[in-house]
Structure 1
Amino acid sequence: MSLKSLLALALGASCLFGATNVLAATAPADPGVINKEQILYWLVKRGELDAEASEEERQQALAAYTAKSTGAGSKAAQVLKAREQQLLQQARSNSLRQSKLMRAQSRVADTDVAKRVKVLAVLVDFPDLPYNANRLSPGDTEMYYANYSVAHYRGLLFSDAGFPGPQGQTLPSAYQYYQAVSGQSFFFNGDVKGWFRASQNAAYYGANDPNNNNDDKAATELVEEAVAAAVATMSADELAQYDIEDPYDIDGDGNLDEPDGILDHVMIFHSSIGEEAGGGVLGDDAIWSHRFFVPSAPGQYGQAIPGSNMRLFGYTIQPLDAGTGVCTHEFGHDLGLPDEYDTSTEASDGSPVGLWSLMSGGSWAGSPRGSQPSGFSPYARSFLQDRYKGRWVNEQSLDYQALDSNGTQVTLEHANSSGVNQLAIKLPSDSIAFTPAYQGQYQYYSNQGDQLNNALSFELQLPMSTSLTLKMKAHWQIEQDYDYVQLLVDGVPLAGSHTKSSNSINNAANIISGDSAALPGGEGEQGWQEISFDLSAYAGMSKQISLVYRTDEAVGGYGFAVDDIRLESDGSLVYSDDAETALETVVLSGFVRTDDTRPGAPRRYLLQLRNYQGVDVGLQQDSYEPGLLVWYENLAYSDNKVAEHPGYGLIGVVDADQNLIGNRDSEVQVRDASFSLYPQSAFFGDTHLGNNSLFDDSDDYSAPLKPQAGLVLPKLGLMVQLLTQEQDSSQAQLLVSKRGDSNGTELSASISAQQEGGDVSFSANLSGGTAPYTYQWDFGVGGVGSTLATPQYSYSESGTYTVTLTVTDANNRQTVTSLQLTVSIPLSALFDISGTGLTVQFNNLSRGGSGELSYQWDFGDGQSSTVASPSHTYSAAGSYSVRLVVTDSQNNQSSNSRTLVVSNPVVPNTTQSSSGGGGGSLGGLSLLGLTLIAWRRRR
């Protein structure tokens, strides 16, 4: 049976997108593309904010302007987005089964899978705002062009060589971006049509709807008009090129790379600044960039496109001055990625992601702003790799349970390399604190989440009686009417003391919904209620009793907890289950038997090495520090709404520097989140520029004074230590370990050394002890040393040196070891020359050899010297050949000759000119043909 048929059955055939009969929805704003600086610019330019406004007034104005972007839009919008994810997930499951079989037959590796998409981009303007009379001036946007031509958008989206920037520079295209982040396995192709003129003025489409979270009123109508106009200019054969995918697997065959009658990818560009960047001259009437769907009639995907056999469903929409960042961000949604920004309904400092990910603020990285978007978070890379295969990420995985105190060393390449560029550390699932059982230790719990259909079932043999009542204690927090609990008797919902017979949202009957704590008579903070059902009609029968918990695709509470289930007959107890014993007769399908905790979800640490290479070059513009990023992924959360749950979210970076940068928002606070062996670069307002090379989960990374910028981490004894790090953060060696007890094995160490002349690379070989370790090296040269795990040192003299290493572990245990190192450097006679007039200073730069060196100088005028760095005055100007012979204690010799020309000193003219000028000649010795050698002998 096809997915479409299954959905129709599951949802009562009311509508492909659910029993809520959502036929249309206003278009929700995307908070991930907000440009605060440009919003303030336009508020001032339009006279809505005083140019001299205080910082507090500016922040209040920003909060008011961006309020529409908080939250996920109307309920209808949330349902549409979430149900699309449900369809995609089911289609993905079908495809995995099919692709596994196909790959087994063809032996094609995941990394060899290439994905090609075809995007139809359409340009549309308004009667009151033509694209070529857009009322913009060069200072209004960093992406200002005198002509926003079709060719400009073709370059922006599809060029394989970049496109011209506003100042003539070459900027990366969306095609190049997706090629880079996918390891050249994802091909973003297509074409641009337009410009077309909308039937209504701009405000008709972009005005905010106060009844629907101030979403854009009719953006979907604009999309329908624009696509219809574009399709009217295309032949059937050309149009068919834009339908090569079946992402929802409509025919249920598991093949997602085949036509399905729906345009695959539609990108709309309108003729205004986007509302997310201030809205330009339109202000609130501008369309906010987003990804969404056109309305769907019952049983259909989207709308039929007039004059064709094709349908329009999903789309993205961008502004006139869109940069690569906005386009790639919105297309990321088209690929199935969520926002990693805070989308909560409350004012927020922002999630702890900032510019580190395209799906948060990274869409605005680079100069001009948004022209060099940063890479994806490791959550997004893993998602894309799983869904599309190819080369989005090369991940190495460790299991926390398998780690020990000795640690595991990992070599990590930078995130945009083809080597191992991501390290995953799988953590044990967490248990979440929950309301204790009503009595005893255990209770039954429905679990929490979207798209649930969980059940607790048991068989009852009902006695012959005129009074049979099923009673139980329960508390619940359930999205009113959209989600619900039912008690089923052989699959039929039964009315009870706390049920509602029907509702306007769906066709479910006899449901329990809402919040038990809000009802009278509840016990405790959660409002334990005694609920009852009359089973007298089933006297003498055997019946299956089921408690079912069903949720839709968005929003919801913690669910339903039940305890002390009992059946009474004429006041006598016939059956009871207090959950204290795991009964074989109770079948749990999604429900769990639990205590004062509830099950957590999978969670991982994901490590990336980020620098200014590849797509991350734009991070330098915003002073984001290169180094090791430790991300925490917690699937107990489906979003990054840190204003609602500060310190917790789907994905975020662990900030290595917990010193706040003033009162700035999270985007600024996490600029120095990377762990590094090198100090930070200067940044305005940041007075703590030291480095941190050790992640230790026993430390506090919650940013207590700015909790939305921090993360609350599990205390598992996990540590990650940077051992080595290239200067440009292109590669690093890590030690991942688990803290051991204080009675661990004895700590011991030895030294390894690799020599090339006087250049020596040292490394420590450790066993026992408890990580992390600290290192103190002494290279045997006047107290010179290092605290790195694998240092390098260049010796200037041959000889035997005692190298000493002191290692200290996490429990302050120490071990000291040493190595006798013999260094042999070839003897090399070197010198440079300086001086004035006939007097010349010869500077000895010789190196190498053994023991004490002796020197023999021949100045080329019959004079000589045995001083290491002599001074010599020539008797006359001329050309002289100077030779130095150096001999070491083993009678090894090296010589070096140079030719120099000396001149008589210039006698200054003591007569002052009438102009009072002070000369202007070099007035000194001309030394020609001299070579200055940079080697210096260390002492």
Structure 2
Amino acid sequence: MTLRRSRLAVVASTSLVAAALALPLTASQSGAAPAAPAASAAPSGEAAAPRPTDSLTMPWQAKYEAERQVAVEKRLRNGGSGESQKIGKDTYGRVAQSGTDKIFVVLAEFGDTRHSAYPDGGTTEGQEPATTYDGPLHNEIPKPDRATDNSTLWQADYDRKHYRDMYFNRMRTFYEQQSSGEYSVDGDVTAWVKVPFNQARYGRNTCGDIVCNNTWFLIRDGLAQWTQDRLDAGQSMEQIQAYLKTFDQQDRYDFDEDGDFSEPDGYIDHFQVVHAGGDEADGDPTYGEDAIWSHRWYAQIEPLGTGPADGAQLGGVNVGEGGVSDASGANVQIPDNPTGVWVGDYTIQPENGGLSVFAHEFGHDLGLPDLYDTSGNTGGASNSVEFWSLMSQSRGTLPGDPGIGDRPQPFGAWEKFQLGWLDYDVARAGRSSTHVLRPGQSTSGSAANGLITILPDKEVVSQLGEPAADGGERFYYSTSGNDLDTRMTAAVDGGGELTATTRYDIEEGWDYAYLEASSDGGETFAGVPTSVSFEGEDASGLNPDGTGISGTTDGAWVDLTATLPADTDTIRFRYRTDSAFVLSGFAVDNVAVDGETVGTAEEGDTAFELDGFTTSTGTEVEEFLNAYIVDNRQYVGRDKQLKHLYNFPDLEKKPDTVEFFRYAPGALISYWDTSYTDNNVGDHPGSGQVLPVDAHPDFVHYADDTLARTRVNTADSAFGLRRIKAQTLSNAGREFTVPARRAQPVFDDTRPWWFDSDEHGVGTHPGFYQPGWFGVDVPQTGTTIRVVKVAKNGNMTVKVGRSS
């Protein structure tokens, strides 16, 4: 017998607060670093750089993201309106971004002072060394030779005016278009400020990862220098504080738990740094590993529990704070004028970054994940999202552009839904329905902007572990999920020493199991301290008397002991969870009082009354939301860029030269599977959080018979009524053909759309790219989605039905 239960969202993690407080200032976020550029793929496809994520978060932020996902899924299932969704008692998740957000941008260039921890010549194994160690100042990026380089963005003067136009004209327009007018940005950009140390102090990868938290000190030092510059210019501290507070309009993490995200919390809502010099993500040839990789993170210099007066206590940087830096070396005094306004969340981009990287990083700041494969631990696999989304391959271009990446690829329907910007229809598997969809990048019209077809919940079999060695074949189990209050109760004959065996994996400091005792026949209960009661911070307030059990036994069964009051006549085990971030829960067996067994979990032999608890052999079935999302991708609006996508034809001989190709328009059908939290097909081939179905899953090969990269193979992924023309591209200097394809108007999920092998057979494929990385393996629910008609204005009629 297996246990069946339902979840809205699952995030696997352990401690939040404790992990955040313990995070050292010399380590990176493990396994988390930004995306590698297209140019990092080897010309023959034999090797490629890993692509770990450029959206880094602190452990405590995972709680907020889990709540947001629960809220988004609840909104889809139940409907509703507004920017927040209630998901539990005093718990809300933000489901929509609306109005006008304020962004504060600091332009930072570097001095020449060396920090003793980052001397000249320091190079991490496997990283590209710098060729110089001074600066850089802004406007020092070498001008590219356009005879051999048509990919690098460059201009002679990157002044304040350039970035004001970048942010508050061009990026504002982009986000207004993507949100159909629901959302916009405003703000300010500082003049260039100069921090004392060279870039190595802030960018060198001494932690062994692509992004290390030495970058946090650029946030601190840049803000400290800007504050000092304002004071030197004659502004008062009160004037500076008043100015900074204009950028605090939001309570990003709802610290007062009232569901109102549109109120100040003492933190600048959206803070960005533009640093002098190039991007390590683009393989900066001058500063190598000392260059900073574009990313989003949280500058947790000050720990949780600190923060603005009368505001959220999330730590970070007190704007203007400084002090002595490198006391045993350069002994530099950073200006120290704390303003009381704080910064935590930030994004950082390079001086010559195109609008695409700015828009991509800001997408992270709004809560969107990377949709490319971030499995750097598997060697840098690649999935099929590619140019279909800004959150995968962000760099767009049109004919005549002086370089690539100054036009962001647009969001897909799933990303818009996550931000509350998708005007969508809902269909249900097993029911016939017809829908008219306007083009995904059309900003007006009465037709829907996307279609979400909700499927029967996905069932996933998971293992809790074996029963206790000294138990039977079953054990008592709390079940797992959000907002639980499950119980198991038994009568006992007086108090004494209670013993039991337990195994648990409970969200530390947020969710709890309890042993409770009653002396009035179960009318009232009080908590009983146990040998495994949690002694850490009670972050959720669910453990006021300190008797609760939280954390993990790391899969092992451990002994639990407790002393019951003498007049005890009833005992119970109880399990309580909050509204998000669920772990596997609490298991208990072999319960005895003074050596006398109270009850066992074996069938037909139990003295416990189960109210939400169950008995389990260790096998269970979990249920997850999953759906097909239809996005009408036509050459309309920003999707015109789908006709002019770049490819590096010969990275060895022409590393900075690109050629161009196109994606075929049509209905892009993606499979959204909430049992996954990433798109790492290198770890789980054919499966991920949200991946496009390939309407033409036959593989494209290079001239050497290795598989062409995913961005090429996914060019014909959309379903439609038109035949797709052939294209000729190059790889390692040799031409290959992307063949013509017949029109494919019908998606039927009982047919195969994903393959883990080709004519080379099952197993490792020659070359870098592997068959299982392309497309997605869909569930066989009997659902069909048919493209019926595409009008001249791009509007598409689709029918949802059942396979015959």
User: TM-score by structure 2 length?
Assistant: 0.70
Secondary structure of the corresponding residue to residue 199 of structure 1 = strand
Once the two structures are TM-superposed, the CA of residue 200 in structure 1 deviates from its matched residue by 0.6
Deviations 1:544-599 (A, max 9, x none): 44365889998x9x735748x4434677643233477999932338x897984422
Answer whether contact 1:487 1:547 (CA < 8 A) is retained: yes
Where do 1:520-535 residues align within 5 Å? 532-534=559-561
The equivalent position to 1:340 in structure 2, one of 371, 376, 394, is: 371
CA distance in 2, matches of 1:501, 1:255: 32
Partner of 1:731: 795
**What pairs up with 1:467-478 in 2 under 5 angstroms?**
469-471=499-501
SS in 2 for 1:187: strand
8 A Cα contact 2:381 2:680, kept in partner: no
- Secondary structure at 1:336 match in 2: coil
Q: Distance in 2 between matches of 1:20 and 1:494?
A: 27
Deviation string, structure 1 residues 783-826 (Cα, Å, up to 9, x no partner) = xxxxxxxxxxxxxxxxxxxxxxxxxxx4xxxxxxxxxxxxxxxx
Aligned twin of 1:434: 462
After superposition, residues 502-651 of structure 1 pair within 5 angstroms as 513=552, 515-516=554-555, 532-534=559-561, 541-546=568-573, 548=575, 559=584, 562=587, 565-568=589-592, 573-578=597-602, 585-588=609-612, 596-622=619-645, 623-651=662-690
Match of 1:116 among 100, 103, 123: 100
Task: Give 1:305's aligned amino acid.
Answer: V
Pairs within 5 Å for 1:370-769: 370-385=405-420, 392-401=421-430, 403=431, 407-417=432-442, 418=444, 419-435=447-463, 456-464=486-494, 469-471=499-501, 488-489=515-516, 490-492=526-528, 494-495=530-531, 513=552, 515-516=554-555, 532-534=559-561, 541-546=568-573, 548=575, 559=584, 562=587, 565-568=589-592, 573-578=597-602, 585-588=609-612, 596-622=619-645, 623-662=662-701, 663-684=707-728, 685-687=737-739, 689-705=741-757, 706-726=771-791, 730-739=794-803
Within a 5 Å distance, the mapping from 1:286-297 to structure 2 comes to 286-295=291-300, 296-297=302-303
Aligned counterparts, 1:254-293, within 5 A: 254-293=259-298
Alpha-carbon distance, 1:483 to partner: 10
Unpaired stretches in structure 1, ≥5 consecutive residues:
1-14, 41-52, 102-109, 160-172, 386-391, 520-528, 740-809, 811-939
Deviation at 1:228, TM superposition (A): 3.0
The two structures have a TM-score, normalised by structure 1, of: 0.61
Determine helix, strand or coil for the equivalent of 2:451.
strand
Does structure 1 retain, via aligned residues, the 8 Å contact 2:513–2:575?
Answer: yes
Q: CA deviation at 1:269?
A: 0.7
Pair 549,288 (structure 1): closer, same or farther in 2 beyond 3 Å: farther
- Taking the aligned partners of 2:615 and 2:698, their CA distance within structure 1 comes to 42
Quote how far apart the aligned CAs of 1:333 are: 1.3
Residue aligning to 2:244: 239
| 3-state SS of paired residue (1:707) | helix
Q: One-letter code of the match for 1:586? A: L
Does 1:147 find its partner at 2:157? yes
One-letter amino acid matched to 1:334: D
2:388: which partner in 1? 356
Seen in structure 2, the aligned counterparts of structure 1 residues 643 and 545 have a Cα distance that, compared at 3 Å, is: farther
The one-letter code sitting in structure 2 at the alignment partner of 1:340 is L
The answer (yes or no) to whether the contact 1:478–1:513 under 8 Å persists in 2 is yes
Q: How big is the shift at 1:222?
A: 0.5
How far residue 201 of structure 1 moved from its aligned partner, in angstroms, is: 0.6
- In 2, Cα distance between the equivalents of 1:114 and 1:150? 27
> Aligned-pair distance for 1:614?
1.4
The one-letter code of the counterpart of 1:203 is A
Is contact 1:352-1:652 (8 Å) kept? yes
Relative distance call for 1:35 and 1:444 in structure 2 (3 A) is: farther
- 3-state SS of 1:132 partner: coil
* Distance (whole Å) between structure 1 residues aligned to residue 96 and residue 213 of structure 2: 44
Match among 318, 324, 327 for residue 304 of structure 1 = 318
Structure 1 distance, partners of 2:370, 2:606, is 41
Contact 1:351 1:642 in 2 (8 A): yes
Q: Provide closer, same or farther for how the CA distance between residues 396 and 486 of structure 1 changes in structure 2, counting only shifts above 3 A.
A: closer
Which structure is richer in relative contact order (CA contacts within 8 A, separation 6 or more)?
Answer: 2
Which structure: larger Rg? 1
| Cross-structure match for 2:9 | none
Q: C-alpha distance in 2, partners of 1:71/1:483? A: 28
Deviation, 1:256, is 2.7
Residue 222 of structure 1 aligns with which residue?
218
Partners of 1:443 and 1:718 lie apart in 2 by 39
Q: Is the 8 A contact 1:702 1:710 kept in 2?
A: yes
Distance 1:275 1:551 in 2: 41
Say whether residues 1:323 and 2:354 are aligned partners.
yes
SS in 2 for 1:639: coil
Distance 1:31 1:661, change over 3 A: farther
Contact 1:208 1:217 in 2 (8 A): no
The amino acid across from 2:319 in the alignment is I
In 2, Cα distance between equivalents of 1:293 and 1:117:
18
**Counterpart Cα distance in 2 of 1:309 and 1:570:** 58
Q: Which of 35, 38, 57 does residue 36 from structure 1 map onto?
A: 38
Alignment of 1:120-269 (within 5 A): 120-127=104-111, 128-138=135-145, 142-159=152-169, 173-210=170-207, 213-231=209-227, 232-233=229-230, 235-236=239-240, 237-269=242-274
How far apart, CA to CA, are the structure 2 residues paired with 1:120 and 1:494?
50
After TM superposition, give the deviation of residue 396 of structure 1 in Å.
0.7
Kept after mapping to 2: 8 A contact 1:447/1:592: no
Cα distance in 1 for partners of 2:668, 2:572 equals 51
> What are the superposed Cα offsets for residues 402-458 of structure 1, whole Å, 9 maximum, x if unpaired?
x1xxx3222221112233110111112122123498699986656678xx7866432
Q: Secondary structure at the match of 1:224?
A: helix
CA distance in 2, matches of 1:584, 1:511: 22
User: C-alpha offsets along residues 590-613 of structure 1, whole Å, 9 cap, x if unaligned?
Assistant: x89798442221111111110221
Q: Distance in 1 between matches of 2:739 and 2:585?
A: 50
Query: Does the CA contact (< 8 Å) of 2:700 and 2:738 recur in 1?
Result: yes
Residue-by-residue CA offset, 1:356-392 (whole Å, 9 max, x unaligned)? 111111345655322222222322211211xxxxxx2
Q: Is the 8 A contact 2:33 2:211 kept in 1?
A: no
Separation (CA, whole Å) in 2 of partners of 1:710 and 1:243: 42
Structure 1 residues 97, 254: CA separation in 2 closer, same or farther (over 3 Å shift)?
farther
Q: Counterparts in 2 of 1:847-858, with a 5 A limit?
A: none
Q: 1:255 to 1:501 in 2, by over 3 A?
A: closer
SS in 1 for 2:286: helix
- CA–CA distance in structure 2, aligned partners of residues 408 and 246 of structure 1: 40
Separation in 2, partners of 1:632, 1:467: 53
Deviations 1:314-363 (CA, angstroms, capped at 9, x unpaired): 11100111111111111111111122222223224323311111111134
**Inter-CA distance 294–424: structure 2 relative to 1 (3 Å threshold):** same
Conserved? CA contact 2:106–2:192, under 8 Å: yes
The answer on whether the counterparts of 2:100 and 2:186 sit within 8 Å (CA) in structure 1 is: yes
CA distance in 1, matches of 2:350, 2:142: 14
Q: Deviations over 1:264-299 (max 9, x none)?
A: 211211112111111331111111111112223333
CA offsets, 1:853-891, max 9 Å, x none? xxxxxxxxxxxxxxxxxxxxxxxxxxxxxxxxxxxxxxx
